[in-house]
Amino acid sequence: MALKRLAIFASGSGSNAEKIAEHFANHSEIEVSLILSNNPQAGVIARARRLHIPVILFDRKTFYETHKVVEILQNEHIDLVVLAGFMMLIPEAMVHAFPNKIVNIHPALLPKYGGKGMYGHFVHEAVVAAQEPESGISIHYVNERYDEGDIIFQATCPVTPTDTPEDVAAKVQILEHQHYPEVVEKLLQTHS
């Protein structure tokens, strides 16, 4: 049986990408085939090299004005595209080339605290400012708009009145690392 192949897109440090890659490092059915980034300074590049996963860098013009990235994914027979801290809106052509095969993780309970500009510390600051009793993660399919695709999985964590945005970020990151690899695995095992 051929291995299911996944590609991870990341713009930053790559802690989620690393957790996913480690999860599948010795998997009998699934492999992380590529890590792609729009940021030549991204920490994910060093993580990928350490894990012996090929890295492909691209710029905004290539991503939005050509089909090169889609062609790379198709040529590599990618079964699932996983966004892990990727800071660019996915182009319509890519969404159509991989229908229900692109997933993202968002550090809040969508539909709250989603959309353009709502990422990283901005999300956690908004959650604390609104005195929310809980936050969490949302894993969702990707469409042409930020954070509006169908939700696949959510997990929650409590937010106390004394929590800072950094405290919330730490709690949310634990959920990300705990659940994202498992949800990706289930998606690949249930979709042929």
Residues identified as active-site = 106
Q: What does the alpha-carbon distance between residue 187 and residue 175 come to, in Å, rounded to a whole number?
A: 18
Is 117 a known ligand-binding residue? Answer: no
Is 15 a known ligand-binding residue? Answer: yes
Is 135 a known ligand-binding residue? Answer: no
3 state DSSP class of 45:
helix
One-letter amino acid at 50 equals R
Which two tokens mark 173? 């990151």
Is 39 a known ligand-binding residue? Answer: no
Indicate the annotated binding residues for (6R)-10-formyltetrahydrofolate. Answer: 104
Indicate the annotated binding residues. Answer: 14-16, 104
